[in-house]
Amino acid sequence: MFSLTTTTTRSISRRGDDDKGIAARRRTRRRSLFRGRAALPVVVVRASSLSSSSSSSSSSSSSSFRLILMRHSEAEEALNPKYSRDIDRPLTERGVSYAKKLGENLKTIAGEEWAPTRIICSSAKRTKETLLAMDLECMKKKESETDDGNAVLFLGSIYHYAGMDGVFGSHVKQLIVGESETFNKEQTDEVVLICGHNRGLEEAVREFTGLSDVEMNVASLACLRKTKEAKTRETWEQAFEEEKNASSSSSSSSSFWTLEHLLDPNGQCLDCGWGNVPRG
């Protein structure tokens, strides 16, 4: 199991402003870790390796379930008197910039096979603005009203459940299984993106991957994959159901989702976490 580096508890808004030396060393470390594709297997912990070529990646996309769990970008402070309700807080200017870069990294690093086809998003203003800034094709189709009306959903339940301990993962499963009944294609043709909040979002990533040290900063996302298997894992419901039914260590291990990419505005990320951050 790889280990994510935990840094100080100060927020991302102070990154690079308070300690340029630390930021410079982190950038140097990141460049050395992710020069080319050789370093990517460090992130993949439940599979032997990543796809070694675009052709193999393309062939695997239609035979695996793909789930993206994403935390919104940097928002205005909760104590700002301009916003009487937490749900109304918008992104900061820097938050918009972070979201744009995160969208670019999803396209260029994760690739076309990770382009979301279904989005389930919190009803909070900051999550909506994050999606819009990322410039996702799915959002464009929704706005032009030329695509399936179920392609993008905004739900208050994602906002509320994210603040409750230990329940967000189960809620994500229920939402996706319910929505999978509307999928009009092969189940694995869909790439589902959940946009929400900590701490629930981080708990869900840990629960699905079995990695207890994954941390999700603002403007970060985790790309999770699970291979389709004939008869036993052909639907989203089966992919999620097997996790709680695993009865042995070997079956339990195989039931975890593979953490294929962990991205933030700077690229592939081994240290997205910044300590114990509150729900935001």
CATH number of the CATH domain containing 91: 3.40.50.1240
Whether 6 is in a domain gets the answer no
Residue 275 has pLDDT above 80, yes or no: no
Lowest-confidence region among 31-45, 83-97, 173-187, 200-214: 31-45
Q: How many C-beta atoms surround the C-beta of residue 231 within 10 A?
A: 6
Whether 70 is in a domain gets the answer yes
Q: How many C-beta atoms surround the C-beta of residue 274 within 10 A?
A: 19
Whether 75 is in a domain gets the answer yes
- Kindly state the percentage of the chain with pLDDT values over 70: 66
**Higher pLDDT pick, 94 / 10:** 94
Q: How many C-beta atoms surround the C-beta of residue 135 within 10 A?
A: 13
Residue from 263, 70, 65 nearest 179 by CA: 65
Whether 170 is in a domain gets the answer yes
Question: Each residue of 203-257: pLDDT tens digit?
Answer: 999 999 999 989 999 999 999 999 999 888 999 999 998 765 543 444 455 789 9
Domain count, the chain: 1
Whether 2 is in a domain gets the answer no
Residue from 76, 70, 59 nearest 120 by CA: 70
What is the rounded distance in angstroms from the CA atom of residue 78 to the CA atom of residue 125? 13
Q: What is the layout of strands, in order, in the sheet containing 267-268?
A: 152-155, 118-122, 191-196, 64-71, 220-227, 258-264, 267-268
Average pLDDT rounded to a whole number, residues 248-267: 78
Whether 82 is in a domain gets the answer yes
> What is the band of 123 on the pLDDT scale with cuts at 50, 70, 90?
very high
Domain that holds residue 34: 12-268
Residue 178 has pLDDT above 80, yes or no: yes
> What is the band of 272 on the pLDDT scale with cuts at 50, 70, 90?
low
Question: Which residues, in sequence order, are CB contacts of 123 under 8 Å at separation 6+?
Answer: 87, 154, 155, 156, 158, 159
pLDDT reported for residue 101: 96
Whether 277 is in a domain gets the answer no
pLDDT reported for residue 225: 96
- For the chain, the average pLDDT equals 75
| Phi, psi (deg, nearest 5) at residue 71 | -95, 140
Whether 1 is in a domain gets the answer no
What is the rounded distance in angstroms from the CA atom of residue 243 to the CA atom of residue 247? 9
What is the rounded distance in angstroms from the CA atom of residue 154 to the CA atom of residue 130? 13
The amino acid sitting at 83 is Y
pLDDT reported for residue 53: 36
What is the rounded distance in angstroms from the CA atom of residue 111 to the CA atom of residue 73? 21
pLDDT reported for residue 80: 81
